[in-house]
Amino acid sequence: MPTLSSAQLEYFETFGFLAVEDVFDPAEVIDPVMDEYAGVLDTLANELFERGAITDRHADLPFAERVCQVYAESQKVHAQYFDFSLPQKGITADTPFWAGPAVFNALTNPSLLDTVESFIGAEIYSNPVQHVRVKVPESIAPRDAEGNVIYGATPWHQDSGVINASADDTDMLTVWFPLMDTDAANGCLQVIPGSHRGEVLTHCSSVQGLTIPSTILPGEDSARAVPLRAGGCLFLHRKTVHAALPNLSDRIRWSFDLRYHPPGQPTGRDAFPGFIARSRRDPDAVLSDASAWRQMWLDARAALADQPDPEYNRWSLNDEACA
């Protein structure tokens, strides 16, 4: 991917987001990730089958169809099993996560980092606030006791609003990309153009996570859906208000949600490990070993296991905006 043009960067500065097609080759980045996660799903299905949570391993199905069957039959969301980050609460010595080499290679893909460099410069830190999201169609998705879809559409929020205030001045760039083509039907992201020019807004608890209450949400009527093909990326300013549409299709929505910023700036989630992904100033500081990255997460899990949960939420449930 060549360096972004001045017009593209001006667009990002004006509107707080930029969709770029063909950032990397899906065969180089996405196909290995899909192969890796097929193995993760196989292990999960076998474990659920042995526990009696499902009656069929569905081993003959491709990933997309198999994960739908596993979720529908078990009536549980197993998002943590696939995630390459730890949860914010209740970490134990065996809390599942996945930090495989194909995922690491995606985070450090040179074409992706070339594009990130256009935004934040040649010194690039991989922030540990990162996720993989596999969202099955809402028609078959597990639901809670009130009938709400579990792990459904992500509500309106700012990425600065879901981390600690220590990172408010961090020059953090969000990189969101689908592992398969995404559109409004299967739950692509939507953004409110220009919303990054305001402050970090109050976020309140909701069924799907932290959200900006409608009473203070700016410009929802100008929201724009951003469909993307595999290989493309959506770049977001840390204060851009965005959300995900519900998956009303008959296919999954599978995406990576990454963040990068210059080294030395607060991550907003200090208990989790990040790393230097690129440095022209100090090339020896760059982490290039996928197994070392995985060990960092294993060490973090061991340190946090059965300990009081760190404080990740800056917001008060008693805020008048949340009433």
82 phi and psi angles, rounded to 5 deg: -100, -20
Q: Which residues contact 93 (CB under 8 A, 6 or more apart)?
A: 301, 302, 305, 306
Q: Is residue 192 part of a domain?
A: yes
Q: Is residue 227 part of a domain?
A: yes
Q: Is residue 322 part of a domain?
A: no
CATH number at residue 13: 2.60.120.620
pLDDT tens by residue, the chain, 323 residues: 457 999 999 999 999 999 999 999 999 999 999 999 999 999 999 999 999 999 999 999 999 999 999 999 999 999 999 999 999 999 999 999 999 999 999 999 999 999 999 999 999 999 999 999 999 999 999 999 999 999 999 999 999 999 999 999 999 999 999 999 999 999 999 999 999 998 999 999 888 889 999 999 998 999 999 999 999 999 999 999 999 999 999 999 999 999 999 999 999 999 999 999 999 999 999 999 999 999 999 999 999 998 999 888 888 877 888 87
What is the structure's pLDDT at 317?
74
What is the structure's pLDDT at 2?
56
What is the structure's pLDDT at 313?
82
Q: Is residue 130 part of a domain?
A: yes
Query: Strand runs (DSSP E) across 92-223, as ranges?
Result: 124-126, 131-135, 173-178, 189-191
The pair of structure tokens assigned to 162 is 């879901």
What is the structure's pLDDT at 286?
98
Q: Is residue 1 part of a domain?
A: no
Q: Which domain holds residue 148?
A: 6-307
Distance of alpha carbon 321 from its chain centroid, rounded?
A: 26
Q: Is residue 49 part of a domain?
A: yes
Q: Is residue 150 part of a domain?
A: yes
Of the candidates 129, 132, 113, which has an alpha carbon nearest to the alpha carbon of residue 121? 113
**Global pTM?**
0.96
Please classify residue 93 by burial: count the beta carbons closer than 10 Å to its beta carbon, then call 0-12 exposed, 13-18 middle and 19+ buried. Answer: exposed
CA dist 293 and 129 (Å) reads 14
The pair of structure tokens assigned to 316 is 């008060």
Number of domains in the chain: 1
Q: Is residue 302 part of a domain?
A: yes
